[in-house]
Amino acid sequence: VTGASFVVFNGALKTSSGFLAKSSIVEDGLMVQITRETMEKLRQALRDKKDFKITCGKMDAGNVKEYVDICWVENEEKTNKG
């Protein structure tokens, strides 16, 4: 679990790169590089206020994967206040 001050979603990752998606720490935030298709799905999920999971890592990495989960919460009191 990584806490971040901001998140950047970059929809310019090429499918030919061999990655499903890439995540990296940038200053005190998180940058997630995703394909155009994943960006379209993410945008729709945000419009619909639906949870969304992005699987990061190489396509051929087997079971070693990282995930970026976007979750909508009912009670904001349980979230980080900073």
pLDDT of residue 1: 63
3-state helix, strand, coil in the chain (%, to 5): 20, 35, 45
**64 against 67, higher pLDDT:** 67
Domain boundaries, the chain: 6-70
Average pLDDT of the chain? 87
Q: What is the mean pLDDT of residues 53-73?
A: 86
The predicted model scores a pTM of: 0.79
For residues 4 and 57, give the distance between their C-alpha atoms in angstroms, rounded to a whole number. 20
Contact 30, 16 (CB under 8 A): no
Neighbours of 23 (CB within 10 A): 18
pLDDT at position 74, please? 80
* 61 pLDDT more than 90: no
The tens digit of pLDDT for each residue in 21-34 reads 999 988 889 999 99
Query: What is the fold, at CATH topology level, of the domain defined by 6-70?
Result: Gyrase A; domain 2 (3.30.1360)
